[in-house]
Amino acid sequence: MAIEVFNRYEHKYILDRATYEKVLAVMDEHMELDSHNENHEPYPIANIYFDTEDDHLIRHSLAKPVYKEKLRLRAYGVPDGNSKVFLEMKKKFKGLVNKRRTVLRLGEAYKFVETGEIPEIKDYMNGQVLKEIAYFLGRNKLRPKVYLAYDRVAYHERGNPDLRISFDMNIRTRREDVRLEAGNHGERLLEGDVYLMEIKTSLAKPLWLAHMLNELDIKRVRFSKYGTEFRQYITKSGSTAS
């Protein structure tokens, strides 16, 4: 069974193409590619982010609070109504990310978020996570707000499953037809040949990784895909983020 509860730190870095290629050479020395990344070919990930009518969750997040939470629906590739997807709740407190997720069929996930009623429990579902999400839905009237997809290359360290490093590229979004089954197209979120590297671990970074970041002068950044999309959206619409 896939891991459904995560507690870890997630540090982000923006890379250009040249730096990305140098980093990959180091990754291949110390880490193993995800099983979906044959020959370094990226695989697609698609998400729907849910929010209130007045975008309360993302507005609160952008205010940089000590604690924040969000709900998203994730698929690998383009699903149909019966495909299994992940409904994920992410909480962040003082930099530590707690992610809880459950598998659902796509149709079950849509209905659950819309009604707040827990579906009949199946063997592929996590009942405890469903209860927690149901409580969250009871406090927040949510609807699908943003579709956000990207292509990913991911690694895990040999002998250390705690450490994962991913590279997301070709990040694309849309606010029309916000359905996973509608295809993974959208407008580019970032200009140019840009790669978002994320280091995910509950432990200290290994020495080789710290040396790589120092030698290549790679600096940590604050970056949120949904947050960046929302800022661009309000700029275009003439609204305000506060």
Q: Please state, for a pLDDT cut of 70, what percent of the chain lies above it.
A: 97
Tens digit of each residue's pLDDT (9 = 90 or more) over 27-47: 999 999 998 888 789 999 999
Spatial separation of the C-alpha atoms in residues 77 and 87, rounded to whole Å: 15
- CB–CB of 6/91 below 8 Å? no
In a domain, 45, yes or no: yes
In a domain, 129, yes or no: yes
In a domain, 119, yes or no: yes
Q: Which two tokens stand for residue 6?
A: 């995560």
Domain containing residue 55: CATH number: 3.20.100.30
In a domain, 242, yes or no: no
Closest CA to 15 of 29, 6, 26: 26
CB atoms within 10 A of CB 39: 5
Spatial separation of the C-alpha atoms in residues 149 and 225, rounded to whole Å: 10
In a domain, 51, yes or no: yes
In a domain, 220, yes or no: yes
> 219 CB contacts (<8 Å, ≥6 apart)?
13
The rounded mean pLDDT for the chain is 94
In a domain, 30, yes or no: yes
DSSP count for the chain of H helices, then E strands: 6, 10
Look at the chain and report how many structural domains it folds into.
1
Spatial separation of the C-alpha atoms in residues 46 and 72, rounded to whole Å: 10
Tens digit of each residue's pLDDT (9 = 90 or more) over 168-198: 999 999 999 999 999 999 999 999 999 999 9
Tens digit of each residue's pLDDT (9 = 90 or more) over 142-161: 999 999 999 999 999 887 78
Structural domain of residue 33, as residue ranges?
5-237
In a domain, 96, yes or no: yes
What's the whole-number mean pLDDT along residues 87-102? 94
Tens digit of each residue's pLDDT (9 = 90 or more) over 18-27: 999 999 999 9
pLDDT at residue 6, rounded to an integer: 77
Spatial separation of the C-alpha atoms in residues 126 and 115, rounded to whole Å: 18
